[in-house]
Each structure stands twice: as structure tokens, then as C-alpha cells.
């Protein structure tokens, strides 16, 4: 079994700018620049043969290159259950189409449909025992975040390995748009 997801990598210069915002939350497990990405579809644990089928299906996802922009900040969860802070992505129809293409590829490879709505974001930190007031302050301080355009001309299939210091990701395949 292999744990997989499809994602757009965050360019190094954008990741460095995001890293400067990674402060002010006690106990946050901040993501490194190498860990920053925009997940298009999380596939979870799949068998090797299904992974091969998924790779073949993802290679058929078409579309033209497009630009996205980071915009705003937020958190997942509420109150003491806040578990992550993130940078948002401005509304993008081409990005939605790419995510739908990855979902269709997953279904053709025999995976179950994703039940959660696509909420494009870049996770900046995972939180344990979050202090809601501090998280609210962090969001307010970062809510005007806006990046220059990020050119998306490819996406990747990544594997994820859980380690003591968090998830480690490896690019398994890359697909040009």
C-alpha cells in the first residue's frame, strides 16, 4: 500500500514568503517549504496496482496552463478543535477543473468518490491544543495575504510517508498541462 495525493507544488519564492508568516502560534507544527503544496485530490492508501492505474488515468487529465494567486488566511476547525492554519487560493475556474479532472481520474482507477468539497489552500501549520484567540489574531494579521500570480503548467502525484517530524512527500510522477 502506498499513500498518495495529487498536488500543485508551491514555488520556492512563494514558500519562502509564506515561511515569514509562520510565527505567533504556540505548539504549531509549521510546514517546511518542501512540504508546501496545493492538494488537488487526496487518494489515501492504495494498492500498487491501483497506483499504476491512477498514474495512467492522471496522465490523461488535460487542460491549458493557468495562473493562481494566494489570497487570505484561515483555519480548519473551531474553538479548541482548530487543527490547521492555511493560506487561501483566489477563486479559479481552471483550478476547479483540474481538481475535477483528478477526481474523475481517481474514479476511473476504481477509487471511491471524494465526499468533501474542494477547498483550495496551502497548509502552513498543523495545531494541537490551539488557543482560539491566538489563532484568530494570526488569521487577522495574515488575512490580507496576496501573492503574485503562480503559473500552473503541471501537477504531480505524490507519495506521503509519516515520520516523527511530520509527513514527508516524494514526487512519484509529474503531468504537464
pLDDT digits (tens, 9 = 90+) for 38-83: 999 999 999 999 999 999 999 999 899 999 999 999 999 999 899 9
- 137 catalytic? Reply is no
Structural domain boundaries enclosing 39? 2-176
- 37 catalytic? Reply is yes
Separation between Cα atoms, residue 166 and residue 147, nearest integer Å: 26
Enumerate residues 6+ apart whose C-beta is below 8 A from 159. 2, 3, 4, 169, 170, 172
User: pLDDT tens digits for 74-118?
Assistant: 999 999 899 999 999 999 999 999 999 999 999 999 999 999 999
Set 121, 157, 169, 175: catalytic member:
121
Look up cell 495512467; give the residue: 56
> Do 118 and 96 meet the contact criterion of CB atoms below 8 Å apart?
yes
Say which CATH number the domain at 70 has: 3.90.1140.10
DSSP one-letter code for 146: B
Set 8, 10, 36, 37: catalytic member:
37
Amino acid at each position: 500500500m502506498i499513500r498518495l495525493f495529487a498536488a500543485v507544488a508551491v514555488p520556492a519564492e512563494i514558500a519562502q514568503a509564506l515561511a515569514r508568516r509562520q510565527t505567533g502560534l504556540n505548539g504549531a507544527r509549521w510546514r517546511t517549504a518542501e512540504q508546501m503544496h496545493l492538494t488537488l485530490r487526496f487518494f489515501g492508501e492504495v494498492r500498487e496496482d491501483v497506483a499504476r492505474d491512477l498514474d495512467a488515468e492522471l496522465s490523461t487529465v488535460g487542460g491549458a496552463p493557468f495562473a493562481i494567486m494566494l489570497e487570505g488566511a484561515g483555519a480548519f476547525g473551531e474553538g479548541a478543535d482548530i487543527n490547521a492554519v492555511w493560506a487561501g487560493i483566489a477563486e479559479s475556474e481552471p483550478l476547479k477543473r483540474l481538481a475535477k479532472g483528478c477526481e474523475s481520474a481517481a474514479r476511473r482507477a476504481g477509487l471511491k468518490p471524494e465526499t468533501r468539497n474542494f477547498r483550495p489552500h496551502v497548509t502552513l501549520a498543523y495545531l494541537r491544543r490551539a488557543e482560539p484567540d491566538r489563532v484568530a489574531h494570526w488569521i487577522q494579521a495574515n488575512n490580507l495575504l496576496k501573492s503574485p500570480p503562480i503559473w500552473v503548467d503541471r501537477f504531480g502525484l505524490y507519495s506521503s510517508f509519516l515520520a516523527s517530524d511530520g509527513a514527508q512527500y516524494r514526487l512519484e510522477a509529474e503531468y504537464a498541462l
